[in-house]
Structure 1
Amino acid sequence: MSEYELSAAGTGPEQVGLNFLTVAYGLRGAVDRHMQATVGLSLSRTKVLQVLAAHGTLHQAQLANALGQAPRSVTQIVEGLESLGLVSRTDDTEDRRRKTVSLTAVGSTTLAAAEEAGAEVLRRLFGSLDPEQLSSLRSSLTSLDTALRD
């Protein structure tokens, strides 16, 4: 069995859940590979740009918090994005130990291209489902999301 093959054994919630995680992992990988191949930007780097696009200039600690990641991990990602000219980092005017991160014009253009590349994969994969399957999946995902929040 490859890493993306579903197990045919069992139909209980735990097996269906494991199958869901397998498919989700495969979907994430497909989107990530396509984004990297077409735009040169990973899904995790794209997420950083999306947060900056949505919230504007942030301190690195705020960015890490918004992403739910460790500050050290975000620092490494930001350094890579800065080297590509997609973000700029500046010293905070009130505390020179802190850095603020901003999306550049090139970063904004690259973000749009990355989002379109990701959407292309999702359209292709989820487009293989008929409208009834899509509706059922949407309903199931909504129910799962509600269960996670409770």
Structure 2
Amino acid sequence: MGLSFLTLAHSLREQVDQHLTATAGLSLSRTKVLQALAGHGTLHQAELATVLGQAPRSVTQIVEGLERLGLVSRTGHPEDRRRKTVTLTPAGRTALAAAEEAGTHALRQLFGPLTQRQLTDLETLLSLVRTTLTGDEAG
């Protein structure tokens, strides 16, 4: 059962990532960075990595790509040139909105065959697993 769940989760992630890339031009990883900035505001790259639970180097590569696209801007710290602050640009907000809409559409298609009751049961079960995993009662 566990391996089946992990395989399904991986397939769902791939499907959503492919849909986001094809329709909104952003990968799921890039979308998550934009979401973090939209939710937390301007962050130093190290803070962004912490929020995302990713290695700083991975986040740096994603941010550099987003900067090339004009979706984020980076500024150096006046006293520490290695420390970069990342800000979501207006173009980034627009791209994020398109990606979130595309993601919602993809998930509706993937979970469309489920009844409302099944969706509610699934959310309850996933919340229980999340609580076990994180110890976070709020989930």
Counterpart of 1:37 in structure 2 is: 22
Q: CA deviation at 1:108?
A: 0.4
- 4+ long deviations beyond 3 Å: none
Deviations 1:110-144 (A, max 9, x none): 00000110110111111210122112212211221
TM-score (norm 1): 0.85
Select the structure of larger CA radius of gyration. 1
Q: For residue 114 of structure 1, what is the amino acid of its counterpart?
A: A
Do residues 93 (structure 1) and 88 (structure 2) align?
no
Q: CA deviation at 1:95?
A: 2.5
Do residues 114 (structure 1) and 99 (structure 2) align?
yes
- Kindly report the root-mean-square deviation, in angstroms, between the aligned alpha carbons of the 2 structures: 1.1
Counterpart of 2:113 in structure 1 is: 128
Alignment of 1:12-51 (within 5 A): 16-51=1-36
Deviations 1:48-92 (A, max 9, x none): 001111111111111111111111111111110000000001111
Paired residue secondary structure (1:116): helix
Counterpart of 2:59 in structure 1 is: 74
Q: For residue 72 of structure 1, what is the amino acid of its counterpart?
A: R
% identical equivalent positions: 67
TM-score (norm 2): 0.92
For 2:126 and 2:81, locate their aligned partners in 1 and report how far apart those are by CA, in whole Å: 44
- Structure 2 regions of 5+ residues with no counterpart? none
For 1:93 and 1:123, locate their aligned partners in 2 and report how far apart those are by CA, in whole Å: 46
For 1:115 and 1:105, locate their aligned partners in 2 and report how far apart those are by CA, in whole Å: 15
Counterpart of 2:89 in structure 1 is: 104
For 2:29 and 2:86, locate their aligned partners in 1 and report how far apart those are by CA, in whole Å: 16
The count of residues paired between Structure 1 and Structure 2 equals 135
Structure 1 66/138 Cα, relative in aligned 2: closer, same or farther at 3 Å? Answer: same
Higher mean C-alpha deviation, range 106-115 or range 67-76: 67-76
For 2:55 and 2:69, locate their aligned partners in 1 and report how far apart those are by CA, in whole Å: 22
Paired residue secondary structure (1:65): helix
Paired residue secondary structure (1:95): coil
